[in-house]
Amino acid sequence: MTISELMFPPAFIMILGAMLLPVVRASFRPVLLVLVPLLTLLMIWNLDDGVLLTARFLGYEVELVEASNVRRLFATIFALMAMIGGFFAFQHARVVEMSASMAYAAGAVGVSFAGDLITLFLFWEFMALFSTVVVWCGGTEEARRAGIRYGIMHLIGGIVLKIGIEGVAVQTGSIEVQALMLDSFATWMILIGVLINAAAPPVSAWLSDAYPEASPTGSVILSAFTTKTAVLALLLLFPGQQVLIWVGLYMIFYGIIYALMENDMRRILAYSIVNQVGFMVVGVGIGTELALNGVAAHAFSHIIYKALLLMSAGAVIVQTGKRKCTDLGGLYRTMPVTAICGTIGALAISSFPYTSGFISKSMISQSAAYGELAFVWYGLVAASAGVFLHAGIKFPWFVFFQKDSGLRPKDPSWNMQAAMIIFAVACVLLGVFPSLLYQFLPYEVTYVPYTADHLVTQLQLLLFAGLAFFVTLPLMKRTLTISLDIDFFYRKLGPKLWKSFVHWLVVLNGLFQTLVIDQGKRLPQLWIRYHGPDGPLARTWPTGSMLLWVAVMLVVILIGARLL
Amino acid sequence: MLMHLPVLVVLAPLLAAPIVALMRGATWPWLLSTLVSWFALLCAVLLLIQVQAEGVIIYTMGGWEAPWGIEYRIDFANALLLVLITGLASVVMPYARLSVEQEVGAERSPMFYAALLLLSLGLCGMTATGDAFNVFVFLEISSLATYTLIAMGRDRRALTASFSYLVMGTIGGTFYLIGIGLLYVMTGTLNMADLAERLPAISDSSTVRTGFAFIVTGICLKLALFPLHLWLPNAYTYSPSAVTALLGATATKVAVYILIRFVFTIFGPEYSFGAEPLAEVLIPLAVIGLLSASTVSIGQPNIKRMLAYSSVAQIGYIVLGIAMGTAMGLTAALLHVFNHGLMKGALFMTLGAVMYRMGGTNLSDMQGLAKTMPLTFWAFVIGGLSLIGVPLTVGFVSKWHLILAAIELGWWPVVIVILAGSMLAVVYVGRVVEAGFFGEARDPTRREAPASLLIPVWILIFANIYFGIDTRLTVDIAEAAAAQLMAGGVVR
């Protein structure tokens, strides 16, 4: 497709789809849900590289569509996710949710192809708006509150990003999306704005706060877009920025620790999103070709298996109405399809050989090894074991196996099953034939995942992690029977270092809670008192008092002119 | 006829107003006023196109050359404003029929429409004229019409609101008159272009300085700069809905325009910001006003009053842009004048629809609106998003430029203030949206507002979105206007 033929960005197809969804007949909706992303995919794959569509906005020449390998890859998985996620949802979700999800996905596709910072920002805010609606569609009081907190968080993130972008626009005169140097206030603001969407510290909590409160179908959709567009933005704007390595490592361990202590199965998976995105952030921080390839590949495969895991969790919630691990168990008897698909997802997230996680995550850790970042490499390997513990074993074990909970739910509706099977097959296919994915990565891939060395290491790792899980099973269980008891966790695991680490993590998180979430309720009392409905500033004042102000202003201007 | 466009914008409503006042019933006065407003809009749009093609238009009244006669002088800045005023009037007029029938009553309709016409022509006249005294004349015409219109509100407090605005507005007008009197004494002219030519030579005199102080103070009262805004909340709250929409969208904006005209064209930016403490006075007031009025908005139980305080806050943004004294700041101010007119017009008209169906505009009347009056509710949501400054609405465009202007000057604290104002807007808009979306409707049987109210509302809502996406028209004109104004003085 040449420039002249391109009339509109690919995202517009999905925006149109989102607008059509509420007005078409219910029976036509599933068709639309599949057809619209399919058309988008078709368009995405017909885009040549380079800037394809520009427009004039705010006095700048904005690049609405700029295509490249990595952008196309991200857009592809976003469109794919919208399709399968929509198909998974169509029998259960409200129309508002389906429509908002489609618009949300459109925003993600739009960000993928944004050639300049303004376009990026526009679609960024578009996503924030509609993802908030998706959270609200959870329909409960918790969802309403979580949605408000989520909205405020993203509003702040958007504002920070906006300041950064305007600063860069003023200082450099260029709004191009390109690798930026962290040498000014403005670029730092952009980095922080993007990191907020990536659920980086100290605001990681917004993710696990909001996603589990959405509807069972909504959280599947939510898991895919916001954090991964942030990863793409980091990849395009800040490749090789050292600070990201530390941010990412923090996220990895934050995710693992909180997931291990959690009882709500969707919340476990939400923490594990933070953890997985942490891997990607580390990869961007390392910044070599291998690492960036790894980031792109891992984002792709992570979206698939995380959606698969959340689909299986969603199916369980739809069928049983329960969401706590302690209430569930033994479901494999009556929900075999869900159990198998969920387990495949769990294996994939643990990087089990011949699953998609194995061929993508290892690229990142390998790049740490090549880059002689020994500490980082150790961290990533240790974390891999942690991932297996919390998401790979804990989730399927307590939900589908373990003791019999007495529940006898059936497998969910056919479309949910079909969606799960498609993604489960995708996990395995990518694992067995890595070249399917490798050929679309930003740089040429020389990396070979299936070496004897790699296989053995990974299997050993998983074996010992698995062993550790079942040895400490009584401990794992105890954390589940009671509400979160952090004391227990760090008393058992002994060393003081560990204790203070966890402590600070919790303190930081609590600080965020009080600083951002609770602060809305505690604006300075004085200000409120003066500005409340009965405060002096809101009253009707006598005319004379305003005359006084008029006189004061007149005098100030007169005297001021003398002083100047 | 094209030659006479500058005066037709004013003349057509001026001729129609007495006829309207003499008519009987509600329908004919309404119809004539609507048609005249549309005609004025047509003239204004043609004027804007003409200015774009040919540059500044000078029209001498009755062929008398200035300084003997009055001249009208149209450049980018006032052409844009004329489109805003006549555009809003053209949307408000058709909207007014049902709303006025209910809130004012059929028997007073002819008077009402005549006053509304006088208001819009007064505002247009202030904008179009190139004569400082003529500004005062039109200022009084529009003000008198406003006092009448406010007093027609259904609530009895409308009378006191109108009276106190009468007193304060007259003080503002008098200050302005004293100011131009002083300038006339020194220069012997009332023509703006002549004033601009003659003032630099004598700008050191204390008479000119005093004139400057009087004019700025008087105009700041009319544009409701904090703390001279005290007349505004009651005036907006208790007027009939259609009046609030037109006033909220245009009246203070014209005062802003007059301020810009005096600061940049007549006194010139060097004098205003160099010899006079304009920035030092306006910036603190704008900043405090913006934060204070936004905070007051949050606590208001009456949504109309809430939006009135929000208007005071928005004036803060505009004055901030002017006080920066840079081309970018001025662009932002002009953009926000236009854009805020669009959003506040839309929002006040939405409230009029709520008033029509629910009989009030308190937060309790907004409960559950998403179910009972979805089109009205979503119009409010989009208008509210625009007020907050969400991308793809006009609010985003003007705040973008304002922040750009602040960053350009390196005024980071001001950037933070602007953003804090947006956050406060999120809160006060958010609570209405929350009530509408999650609240239980008091009376679930209430139906959607009639089409003749909704269509004008949605026209403005679409304008909010359209000008938020296609910024070529507004941004380019505002930039051109700012460039003209910064060049200062006379463009012959």
Q: Range with the lowest mean pLDDT among A22-31, A62-71, A390-399, A473-482?
A: A473-482
Query: Using only C-alpha atoms, what is the Rg of chain B?
Result: 21
Dihedral in degrees, nearest 10, Cα atoms A45, A49, A54, A60 = 130
The pLDDT score that the predictor gives to residue A299 is 93
pLDDT(A489) > 70: no
The residue to which tokens 């002689």 are assigned: A372
pLDDT(A488) > 60: no
Q: Determine the distance in angstroms separating the CA of A383 from the nearest CA of chain B, rounded to an integer.
A: 39
Of B234, B257, B269, which Cα lies nearest the Cα of B315?
B257
Q: B246 near B88, Cβ under 8 Å?
A: yes
Domain positions in chain B? 277-487
Q: Which two tokens stand for residue A47?
A: 């885009």
Task: Return the DSSP state at B227.
Answer: T
Cα separation, A175 vs A56, whole angstroms: 13
Assess B348–A contact: CB distance below 8 Å, yes or no: no
Cα separation, A246 vs A45, whole angstroms: 35
Per CB-CB distance under 8 Å, the chain A contacts of B213 are 554, 557-558, 561
Nearest CA in chain A to B295: A531
Q: B128 near B6, Cβ under 8 Å?
A: yes
The pLDDT score that the predictor gives to residue A487 is 40
Q: Determine the distance in angstroms separating the CA of A533 from the nearest CA of chain B, rounded to an integer.
A: 5
Which among B164, B172, B275 has the least Cβ separation from residue A561? B275
Which among B221, B401, B404 has the least Cβ separation from residue A550? B221
Q: A47 near A72, Cβ under 8 Å?
A: yes
Assess B182–A contact: CB distance below 8 Å, yes or no: no
Assess A125–B contact: CB distance below 8 Å, yes or no: yes
The pLDDT score that the predictor gives to residue A323 is 84
Q: Determine the distance in angstroms separating the CA of B220 from the nearest CA of chain A, rounded to an integer.
A: 9
Those residues with Cβ within 8 angstroms of residue A74's Cβ, 6 or more apart along the chain or in another chain: A108, A112, A228, A229, A232, A296, A299, A300
Per CB-CB distance under 8 Å, the chain B contacts of A122 are 391-392
Per CB-CB distance under 8 Å, the chain A contacts of B418 are none
User: Which candidate in B207, B385, B407 is best for mutational testing of the A interface (most A CBs within 10 A)?
Assistant: B407
Q: Checking DSSP bridges between strand A60-67 and strand A50-57, what pairing results, if any? A: antiparallel
Per DSSP, the three-state class of A65 is: strand
List Cα–Cα distances, A73 to A68, A109, A120, A194, A295, in angstroms.
9, 10, 17, 20, 11
The pLDDT score that the predictor gives to residue B116 is 93
Nearest CA in chain B to A534: B299
Amino acid, res. B399:
K
The pLDDT score that the predictor gives to residue A520 is 58
Those residues with Cβ within 8 angstroms of residue A365's Cβ, 6 or more apart along the chain or in another chain: A377, A380, A381, A384
User: What are the backbone angles phi and psi of residue B490, rounded to the nearest 5°?
Assistant: -95, 130
Assess A541–B contact: CB distance below 8 Å, yes or no: yes
Q: Which two tokens stand for residue A58?
A: 């705010």
Q: A469 near A402, Cβ under 8 Å?
A: no
Q: Determine the distance in angstroms separating the CA of B17 from the nearest CA of chain A, rounded to an integer.
A: 31
The pLDDT score that the predictor gives to residue B175 is 94
Assess A8–B contact: CB distance below 8 Å, yes or no: no
Assess A549–B contact: CB distance below 8 Å, yes or no: yes
CB crowding B78-99: b at 16 or more within 10 Å, else e: bbbbbbbbbbbbbbbbbbbbbb
The pLDDT score that the predictor gives to residue B258 is 94
The pLDDT score that the predictor gives to residue A408 is 80
pLDDT(A37) > 70: yes
- At A486, the pLDDT band (50, 70, 90 cuts) reads very low
User: Alpha-carbon torsion A341, A342, A343, A348, what sign?
Assistant: positive
**Is the bond into A474 cis (omega within 30 degrees of 0)?**
no
ipTM score of the complex? 0.84
Mean local confidence (pLDDT), A298-319? 92
The pLDDT score that the predictor gives to residue B339 is 94
Per CB-CB distance under 8 Å, the chain B contacts of A550 are 171-172, 175, 217, 221, 228
Cα separation, B173 vs B132, whole angstroms: 12
Strand partners, B362: B302
Strand partners, A67: A50
Cα separation, B189 vs B68, whole angstroms: 9
Amino acid, res. B301:
P
Assess A536–B contact: CB distance below 8 Å, yes or no: no
Cα separation, A75 vs A40, whole angstroms: 9
Assess B263–A contact: CB distance below 8 Å, yes or no: no
Task: Return the DSSP state at B313.
Answer: H
Assess A558–B contact: CB distance below 8 Å, yes or no: yes
Assess B231–A contact: CB distance below 8 Å, yes or no: yes
Q: Determine the distance in angstroms separating the CA of A341 from the nearest CA of chain B, rounded to an integer.
A: 37
Assess A537–B contact: CB distance below 8 Å, yes or no: yes
The residue to which tokens 């008479």 are assigned: B207
Cα separation, A517 vs A511, whole angstroms: 10
Q: Over the stretch A363-388, which tens digit does the pLDDT of each residue have? A: 888 888 887 778 888 888 888 888 88
Cα separation, B252 vs B247, whole angstroms: 7
Q: B393 near B469, Cβ under 8 Å?
A: no
Task: Return the DSSP state at A409.
Answer: P
Domain positions in chain A? 1-235
List Cα–Cα distances, A544 to A376, A533, A549, in angstroms.
70, 22, 9
Which among B175, B407, B471 has the least Cβ separation from residue A57? B471
Q: Determine the distance in angstroms separating the CA of A541 from the nearest CA of chain B, rounded to an integer.
A: 7
CB contact residues (below 8 A), chain A span 59-98, against chain B: 59
Q: In what helix (H) or strand (E) does residue A280 lie, and over which residues does it extend?
A: helix A265-286
Residue A241 falls in which region: left (phi positive, over 0), alpha (psi -120 to 50) or beta: beta
Assess B483–A contact: CB distance below 8 Å, yes or no: no
Assess A553–B contact: CB distance below 8 Å, yes or no: yes
Neighbours of B121 (CB within 10 A): 29
Cα separation, A495 vs A492, whole angstroms: 9
Those residues with Cβ within 8 angstroms of residue A453's Cβ, 6 or more apart along the chain or in another chain: none
Cα separation, A518 vs A396, whole angstroms: 35
Q: In what helix (H) or strand (E) does residue B72 lie, and over which residues does it extend?
A: strand B71-74
Exposed (0-12), middle (13-18) or buried (19+): which is B21, by Cβ within 10 Å? middle
Q: Range with the lowest mean pLDDT among A3-7, A286-290, B307-311?
A: A3-7
Q: In what helix (H) or strand (E) does residue B59 lie, and over which residues does it extend?
A: strand B57-60
> Half-sphere exposure (CA, 13 Å, Cβ side) for B185?
13
User: Alpha-carbon torsion A339, A340, A346, A350, what sign?
Assistant: positive
Exposed (0-12), middle (13-18) or buried (19+): which is A495, by Cβ within 10 Å? exposed
Assess A327–B contact: CB distance below 8 Å, yes or no: no
Mean local confidence (pLDDT), A225-240? 93
Q: Which two tokens stand for residue A544?
A: 């004379």
The pLDDT score that the predictor gives to residue A190 is 94
- At A183, the pLDDT band (50, 70, 90 cuts) reads confident
Assess B224–A contact: CB distance below 8 Å, yes or no: no
Q: Range with the lowest mean pLDDT among A16-20, A332-336, A461-465, A534-538?
A: A534-538
CB contact residues (below 8 A), chain B span 306-325, against chain A: 309
Q: Determine the distance in angstroms separating the CA of B308 from the nearest CA of chain A, rounded to an integer.
A: 11
Assess B408–A contact: CB distance below 8 Å, yes or no: yes
Decide if A550 and B175 are in contact by the 8 Å CB cutoff.
yes
Which among B168, B175, B299 has the least Cβ separation from residue A543? B168
The pLDDT score that the predictor gives to residue A444 is 85
Decide if B403 and A166 are in contact by the 8 Å CB cutoff.
yes
For the whole model, what pTM was predicted? 0.85
Cα separation, A169 vs A375, whole angstroms: 37
pLDDT(A484) > 50: no
The pLDDT score that the predictor gives to residue A362 is 85
Exposed (0-12), middle (13-18) or buried (19+): which is A189, by Cβ within 10 Å? buried
Amino acid, res. A269:
L
Q: B291 near B300, Cβ under 8 Å?
A: no
Neighbours of B203 (CB within 10 A): 18
Cα separation, B212 vs B200, whole angstroms: 13
Which among B175, B299, B309 has the least Cβ separation from residue A532? B299
Average pLDDT, chain A: 85
Q: A231 near A300, Cβ under 8 Å?
A: no
Q: Over pLDDT 90: what percentage of chain A?
A: 36
Cα separation, A262 vs A265, whole angstroms: 8
Positions in chain B short of pLDDT 50: 489-492
Of A329, A330, A325, A331, which Cα lies nearest the Cα of A483?
A325
Of A246, A257, A202, which Cα lies nearest the Cα of A501?
A257
Per CB-CB distance under 8 Å, the chain B contacts of A144 are 438
Decide if A553 and B228 are in contact by the 8 Å CB cutoff.
yes
The pLDDT score that the predictor gives to residue A329 is 81
Q: Which two tokens stand for residue A345?
A: 């997802």
Cα separation, A363 vs A138, whole angstroms: 37
Neighbours of A395 (CB within 10 A): 25
